[in-house]
Each structure stands twice: as structure tokens, then as C-alpha cells.
Homo-oligomer: A and B are copies of this chain.
Amino acid sequence: MLAEIITIGDEILIGQIVDTNSAWMAKQLNLIGVSVKQITSVSDDEQHIMEALKLAENRADIVLITGGLGPTKDDITKKTLAKYFNMGFRNDAGALEMVRQIFEKYKRPLLDINIQQADVPDGCEVIVNKNGTAPCMWFEQNNTIFISMPGVPYEMMYLMDDEILPRIKSRFKLPFIVHKTILTANIGESFLAKEIEEIENSLPAHIKLAYLPKLGLVRLRLSASGDHEAKLKTEVEVYAKQIMAKVNKFVVIDEDIALEKAILNLMESRGLTLSTAESCTGGYIAHLITQHPGCSSVYWGGAVAYAYELKESILGVKENTLTTFGAVSEQTVTEMAEGAIKHFKTDYSIAVSGIAGPDGGTADKPVGTVWIAVSSKNKTIAKVFNFSNKRIQNIERSAASALTMLLNLLKETV
């Protein structure tokens, strides 16, 4: 069963927004055994949309379309779909009722262009969108299903979760796709490949291995497809165990979760607490951690200490340390980490102080110089990194390095 995703709208093609919808949709489809063959972003241009629909119809069983359903003139998806399927228009009663309810809830008057949002190509089935004014539309032609959804992420997600995915599951007998991910740290991609070369060469044709490097970590992903889920799972587990035995000391966790989530799970199982003291990462590490539900049993909070004054008042860094060694130094980052443990009363802490850039560098501390410390109640490890001159990248790499250092410290004290 093959699906394709088509996103419609100039905003992706001029780079104003990043297409996060497609990755989310692809993940959900894979989980129910539908492979995504292609993701295509096209502009709000009738002829181009028609061509993309035709090509997708030839390749795929299911075509998911997002975007271009707003009430304004730049959105032409509905008109183009009517033309593609050679249909006229009707005003859909269910869709109109939903538009009415939404405007009533927000106590806004219903405008003509809002009523027109309930106009749909007359041969489609309408799936009511409970979170927005643009209806979802289901078409079928030549054994291909086309589903048009709004591009607003949470409206699309609700429709997928509650309507589209259940309908696809009940309609088709789907093959199973089993993924197994092993997260590794402290080893490069090519060294990893060399270590597990023999295992990789022994994989059967229906099991694939992929290397996904990111910010100093490498994810290994085994993917198997076939008709017998239990058999696939067993097979994949066998190969995963072989890989983990071979590169054991580099394995963080054998789940497809983020590094910080692996750390949270480990700390929760040991009843440990964590705080953060961030300067150049500016709350990014706290944000990574607090994305995860249930983090509050481990993570107590922390400081974003951008100014000298806050490093002193919240974390207890000595003024003398800051003036003698500077904010970006082993001494300061050590006092930040130990101050976090003391003031926030947690078992472990992370502290980061660096020059994220693009300005603020000096000859001996160029942009990209970052000091990171991790502390337990009886040990602090501090390390300096030299990243690049790109601010966002320095923030992300500092966070990944800090989390890897914390993981290594936690592993030391098993």
C-alpha cells in the first residue's frame, strides 16, 4: 500500500515555513503499514497542482493533500480539485454547520467568505473538521483515494488521528512495517558501519538498515516489511540484539526516542532529579526536556542566566570568578553547575556557558567556544567545545553535547 503527500502553497516554496506536516503524516502512515513513496510541495498554481495529482495518481493508492483551503483568494486547492475530478460545487450542510458553530464560539459575525468555506466539489465526501472552518474532502478515482485537508497542523493532526487513519485501516488489508531504532553516542557513522559490517551484510532482503547521524549521535534503524507482524518483530529483534552486542558501549537506548527522553527514563527509574543552568543555550535544554510528558518527576527546573547579575543571584556564581575568568570559562560553568545542585536541590545538573555568536568572540575565545559542565552531588565534569560560527547550530550542538555528557556521567555511576 503506497501513499503520497502533496502540500500546496507558496509559503513552503519561498521558504517562509518549514513543512513539518509531511513528516508527521509520514510517521503515522508508516505506523499502520502504509509506505510513503513521495512527498511533493507545489505552488498555488492550477496547472502544476493538476500535474502533481496525475503523477501521484499513477504511483500511489492514497494521495494526502494539505493546504490551500483558506478563505482567501490565494488559496485555490478546492477549485483545482473540482476541475481535476470534473465536478461542480455544492454547499455542504454539515460543513456549514461547523463553520457556524466556530464563529458562534468566538462570537464573530459570519462573513460571506466564511459561508463559502462550506462549498465543496459535488462528488466528494465531506469529513467534518471540528477544529477549523475548512472541510476535509475525500475523493476516489481509478482506484486511488485522494484526501484534501487544511494545512494548519493541529487541524490536520486531529483529522488524521480521528478520521483518516481509522478509515484507511478498516478499508485495506495492510502489510506490516516494523521499525527498530538503536540510538548511539560517542562514535562516528563510518566507524559504526565498520563495526557492524558483517551483520549488515547478513540481513535478508526484506530488512533494511539505515544510518541517521545528527548532532554527534547516530541512530541505526532496522526496517522490515511483510505479512506476519510477530515474525517480523522477532526477526528484527534478533538483528538488533546482534548489533547491540557488537557496539554495546556506544548504545544509549534501543528505542526511537530523543536523547533527553532516554535520560529522563533512566533518571526516573533511579529516582533522580535534574536541574539546568543555561547561558548560551538560553533555555533550549530546558525546552528539550519539558517537551516530554511526565518530565516533572525528574526535572525541577532551572535558570536561564544570560546576564552576569543572574548568574550571581540565581546560581551563586562568585563575582570574582566572573571578572577573573570570564563567563565562558571552566570556573564559571563549574560554579553554575554546582550552584544549580545547591540552590535547586537536585541530584544532577547541567550548566552551559559559551559564545553562540555571530558576535561576541575574542582571539582566545572565538565564536563557538562553549564550556559545559555536568554535576552530581559529589562530582563535576567540565569540558570545552569549539563549534562553528552559526548561532542556532551552536545552541543545538551545545545541548546535544551537554546531554551526552550527562548520560555518560549517569552511566559511570550505575
| Cα separation A295 to B35 with both chains bound (whole Å) | 44
In the complex, which residue of chain B has the Cβ closest to the Cβ of A152? B213
Are A41 and B39 closer than 8 Å at their CB atoms? yes
Query: A392 → chain B, closest Cβ, in Å?
Result: 6
In the complex, which residue of chain B has the Cβ closest to the Cβ of A344? B310
Question: What 1/0 mask marks residues of chain A from 181 to 198 whose CB sits below 8 Å from any chain B CB?
Answer: 000000011110110000
User: Cβ of A286 < 8 Å from any Cβ of B?
Assistant: yes
User: Cβ of A287 < 8 Å from any Cβ of B?
Assistant: yes
Are A304 and B306 closer than 8 Å at their CB atoms? no
Please tell me the number of chain A residues within 8 Å of chain B, measured between CB atoms. Answer: 109
- Interface residues in A12-47 by Cβ distance below 8 A to B read 12-20, 22-30, 35-43
Q: What residues on B are CB-neighbors of A302 within 8 Å? A: 283, 303-304, 310
Given the known inter-chain contacts A191-B108, A303-B303, A304-B302, please indicate yes or no for A12 contacting B18, CB distance below 8 A. no
User: Cβ of A90 < 8 Å from any Cβ of B?
Assistant: no
Partner of A212, one of B11, B13, B209, B307: B11
Q: What residues on B are CB-neighbors of A154 within 8 Å? A: 388, 390, 393
Are A38 and B41 closer than 8 Å at their CB atoms? yes
Are A189 and B71 closer than 8 Å at their CB atoms? yes
| Cα separation A18 to B212 with both chains bound (whole Å) | 13
| Cα separation A17 to B310 with both chains bound (whole Å) | 36
Are A194 and B23 closer than 8 Å at their CB atoms? no
Partner of A15, one of B23, B299, B358, B359: B23
- Interface residues in A294-346 by Cβ distance below 8 A to B read 294-296, 299-307, 309-310, 313-314, 343-345
User: Cβ of A138 < 8 Å from any Cβ of B?
Assistant: no
Q: What residues on B are CB-neighbors of A93 within 8 Å? A: none
Partner of A14, one of B10, B36, B153, B307: B36
Can you list 13 A-B pairs with a CB-CB distance of less than 8 A?
A11-B221, A13-B26, A14-B30, A14-B36, A17-B212, A22-B41, A72-B211, A73-B193, A73-B209, A74-B211, A153-B393, A293-B359, A299-B306
The chain A residues found within 8 Å of chain B, CB to CB, are: 10-20, 22-30, 35-43, 48, 52, 55, 70-74, 106, 108, 111, 113-114, 152-154, 157, 179, 188-191, 193-194, 200, 208-214, 219, 221, 223, 256, 275-276, 278, 280-287, 289-291, 293-296, 299-307, 309-310, 313-314, 343-345, 356-359, 388, 390-393, 395
Q: Ordered nearest first, which 7 A-B pairs have the shortest CB separation?
A: A282-B290, A15-B27, A283-B286, A283-B283, A15-B26, A301-B306, A39-B41
